[in-house]
Structure 1
Amino acid sequence: MKTARVSLFGLAFAGLMVAGCGGGGSSSPSDFIYYASNGFTLVREDFPTGNAFTSGTGPGMSRMRLSPDKSQILFVSNNQLYLINANGTGLTTLTGFRNGDWNGDGSKIYGISTTGFKVRSVNPDGTGVSGDLFDGNFGGGIQDIDVNDQGTKIAIDYVPTGFRRIYTMNLDGSSLFAVTANTVDSTNMRWSPNGASFVFTRNDDIYTIDADGTDEGILANTAAIEGQPSFRDANTIVYVADGDIWRMAADGTGQTKIIDTAATLTWPVSKN
């Protein structure tokens, strides 16, 4: 099996990951990445040591989201939203949600309901489910949701008619705004740390666009199937290309493979 590891800062090291929780508490290291392996296993890999945990919780594992303090992570498995501590303990099912993301301070999760594609909020312990903030039960529904780091705006990819488009709204569901045009599917959007723009997937390539719908451009368009981008920080994006994990600068330069294994790796997420 071929296994390569390069740190997010470009420092190479040797060694395979170690399975298990490894110590108490829910803190995470300063340089790390989460991803799904073969769609069944949640992995956290630490740099430069290679120590990590694995947590196999079910099929279709995807859409990982770190809490603002990096102590917990949301993920989806088999169309159900879960929460787990950063060291692999404390698995919690957020019943009634198919997907979700943290608000700016981690006190709330904004998610998509398992029935009817409604946007609702919930406390991280599963209590305090709100009423419907937005009703996306039209056309192709809502696939993904992302809250900006400032905790002021929600983004969804939504298909009322035609193609899947990126929309933004206020936290209360008001002021719906279409960011991308109704000419081609635009999916898997992630806010930039300053809330001014998005990275997203289109036609197996990675694009960027400002939150007001201007300055659209392409960041990664090689022969590989590229997607699932997310910002590690203001200057670095992590993403998937042909089942391996890559990083690049926010302007698309410096594209570098950082994790390469025999498994198919998806949905990388990391925060500096």
Structure 2
Amino acid sequence: MSERSPSWSVTNRIAYERDGQIWMVSPYGTNQAPFPGITQPSPSAPAWSPDGSQLAFSSGGDVWVINADGTGERRITTNNATSSALAWSPDGLKIAFGKRVVLSSGAVFTGIAVINVDGTNERVLTVPEANKTDGDPSWSPDGAKIAFDRYGQSNVNNGIYLINADGTNQVRLIGNGPELWYANPIWGPVPVGINTPFDFDGDAKTDFAVYRAGATPTAQSFWYVLRSSDNVFLNVQFGSGEDKITPADYNGDGKTNFSVFRPSNGYWYVLLDSSGNYSAVHWGASGDIPIPGDFDGDGKADLAVYRPSDGVWYILNSSDGSFLGRQFGTSTDQPLRMDYDGDAKSDLAYLRTIGTDYYWYILQSSTNTVSIAKFGIVGDKAVPADYDGDLKSNIAVYRPGTNRWYILDAAGTGILEQQLGESGDVPAPGDFDADGKMDLTVFRPGAATWSVLRSGGGSLSQQWGIGTDLPVPAAYIP
């Protein structure tokens, strides 16, 4: 017997090749049986859909799809001569595969192709030179890019490549080493607890968003969001004039929820969906500072407040409903929202003024040890965020007097200094280009214009809001 090419489904079934058939087995080695309903000869390269409801496989040079219960076997390509593993897009709507193509000149190549699961819109994304093969595609978690390998008779241009899912911007990541072959790139999932701040549509980009507070404590407040995914404008009434905004991802769907904390009654109100369903949870008291974060690492923001009167953090864990009370700070300290150690859990942190200097105190969740750093002066705005893409919050300040940003590197030894802004601007950093790095950003009251210095290069200017609005990305800047 020969077994190979295992594919693990989210429903805990493993499909694999065995002697010219596709079989299934449980993770415990039980319930071994041929996959039901497959009638095609010599099926290979099984690949489960992201939700486990369908299985794709190759047979006779074509891509086939069958339901998990063995019904609905269907061919979605015609004479494509597939030659590599199959890969489902994260949304389950497309399949990437290697397609063998013969040119009119007689030259042969195998490129990466993508087709909709219903068999429509097939397109070849890559065209290597003759006698080269592109294969083993792997989608990025957001479905925007595909990694693949290229190999052939010579080592020239062999390597691991990356291309946008629409076929643009192909780049080689590694390759061309002597006598080296590269194969089977695997794109890891986004770590639990890691998502883009202030991203209301889930496209991994911060959206331009403002909050317009009601004129009186009981008057209605409105959120205005320009979605980056489709440039659609959202106008959402949620909150009242007295509320403090607390935007975060409370349900773990990768999208920021509209949310407020009401000081007068200590309630948190979180808008759960576009249908208007919301939660109301009592957690806190008048005088508390709301500072939500993912303190338990389950990918969902936890309700949390800092109580200046006793310097205690009160955290309601979303994972199991347990709560934590931890004294860390004093009445004059400013709580900060950050993950300093990069373990996908928010750390308790605060800013303390001693003389004319700022001191940062951070209780790292990974080690339960306290780090202390002297950085910034009185008058600076603390703007901690991940500016270098290492999944750790950098200690950083914005200095209104000079409109300069100062960012401490991960090693704590180097400082990045950058000018952006004018007198009166409000710092509001966000990841507007989806590169995993926060961009330096300011909001200009009066003109209501945003100026973004993209970490990936270039700048961006956008008018959004009115002069008295609060830029949502500034929600947690003390």
Indicate the TM-score class for this superposition, using the shorter chain for normalisation: 0.5 to 0.7
Higher strand share: 1
Q: Which residue of 2 aligns with 1:229?
A: 429
Question: Is the contact made by 1:240 and 1:268 (CA closer than 8 Å) also made in structure 2?
Answer: no
Shift of 1:187: 1.4
1:137 counterpart SS class = coil
Gap change, CA 1:50 and 1:102, over 3 Å in 2: same
For the pair 1:113 / 2:324, whether they are aligned, the reply is: no
Alpha-carbon distance between aligned partners in 1 of 2:312 and 2:439, rounded to the nearest angstrom? 29
Specify which of 232, 257, 274 is matched with residue 72 of structure 1: 257
Q: In 1, distance between residues paired with 2:333 and 2:243? A: 19
- CA distance in 2: counterparts of 1:166 and 1:123, whole angstroms: 25
RMSD over aligned Cα atoms: 3.8
Query: Residue 172 of structure 1: CA displacement?
Result: 7.5
| Conservation of the 8 A alpha-carbon contact between 2:211 and 2:469 | yes
Alignment-derived partner of residue 21 in structure 2: none
Q: 1:81 to 1:107 in 2, by over 3 A?
A: same
Residue equivalent to 1:208: 407
Mapped partners of 2:420, 2:306: distance in 1: 33
Gaps of 5+ in 2: 1-199, 215-220
Identity of aligned residues (%): 11
TM-score in terms of structure 2 length: 0.42
Q: In structure 2, which of residues 346, 349, 353 is the aligned counterpart of residue 156 of structure 1?
A: 349
1:137 to 327, 330, 341: 330
> RCO higher in 1 or 2 (8 Å CA, sep ≥ 6)?
1
Question: Cα gap change, 1:35/1:167 in structure 2, threshold over 3 Å: closer, same or farther?
Answer: farther
Asked whether the 8 Å contact 1:62–1:76 carries over to 2, the reply is: yes
1:240 maps to: 442
What is aligned with 2:463?
259
- CA gap of 1:176–1:157, structure 2 versus 1, over 3 A, is same
When residues 260 and 227 of structure 1 are mapped into structure 2, their CA distance, relative to the original with a 3 A threshold, is: same
Match of 2:416 among 217, 229, 235: 217
For residue 75 of structure 1, report the CA deviation from its aligned partner.
4.4
Note the C-alpha offset of 1:86: 5.2
Structure 2 partner of 1:102: 293
Secondary structure class of the residue paired with 1:256: strand
Shift of 1:216: 1.9
Please list every run of at least 4 consecutive aligned residues from structure 1 whose deviation after the TM superposition is greater than 6 angstroms. none
- Say which one has the larger Rg: 2
Q: Contact conserved, 1:201 with 1:228, CA < 8 A, in 2?
A: no
1:227 to partner: Cα distance: 1.1
Q: Distance in 1 between the 2:382 and 2:420 partners?
A: 15
Unaligned 5+ segments in structure 1 are: 1-26
Q: State the match for 1:49 in structure 2.
A: 232
1:14 corresponds to: none
Q: 1:90 aligns with which of 268, 278, 291?
A: 278
Q: TM-score, normalised by structure 1?
A: 0.68
- The aligned amino acid for 1:102 is G
Aligned to 2:102: none
